[in-house]
Amino acid sequence: MSFDRTIKIAPSILSADFANFGQEIQAIEAQGADWVHVDVMDGHFVPNLTFGPPAVKAFRPHVKTVMDVHLMITPVDPYIQAYADAGADILTAHVEAGPHTHRTLQAIRGAGMKAGVALNPGTPAEAVEHLLDLTDLICVMTVNPGFGGQKFIDMTAKVRKLRQMIGDRPVHIEIDGGVDPNTAPLVAAAGADVLVAGSAVFKGGSVGKPEVYGENIKAVRAAAESALTQAAV
């Protein structure tokens, strides 16, 4: 994975057809997805239960771009190697998930993956200030984690603070929750470069109508990029 700050759209397959994941992944990539976002929930850290390492391993052969795995679980450390073995390119853990985030990020990198750290809406940017040299991605939650399709919570002030804190470090800022063509410009202008979108990408489409995915991805990307263009003027 090379690093750049161009806008990347990472559809969350939590909004895909669960009976057809392989073709869904292939369809979104063919229609312009930059990354594939996999939300892992344990029914404990968050009130929902989704994918474990076997599912992620089954997704891997279909993902030709970047498999971005977001762990909404606690504890994290006992499962790091399993997700590495399953083929995750990026593994993100929540700063709220345990007391030893340094060790978690070191272990993720040690297992050969890029390391991400996520912040719930109620957690300030300063919570990861001491972790910036150990992380490759900061995921700013713009909903409370646990379910797809929630209403966007405005975290632009936090994103701006993170952008300032990161400086010239090669660290992505990812936004997860409620991203659509209306909210994408807000976070892009604040400094985010990776946009996770679930229902905004998958709504109205299917593997039989993949062009709808493409239209949705283009709409989110265009909205985000237009904000950057306006900011540069």
**Active site members:** 39, 176
Residue with tokens 């001491």: 130
Q: Where are the alpha helices (DSSP H) in the chain?
A: 21-30, 53-59, 80-86, 101-110, 156-166, 184-190, 199-202, 210-232
Q: Which residues pair with 91 in a beta bridge?
A: 69, 115
Query: Residue 45 in contact with residue 73, Cβ under 8 Å?
Result: yes
Could you tell me which of 226, 174, 216, 223 has the C-alpha nearest to residue 195? Answer: 174
Structure tokens at 23: 């073709």
Q: What is the number of other CB atoms lying within 10 angstroms of the CB of residue 89?
A: 18
Query: Residue 9 in contact with residue 213, Cβ under 8 Å?
Result: no
AA identity, residue 134: L
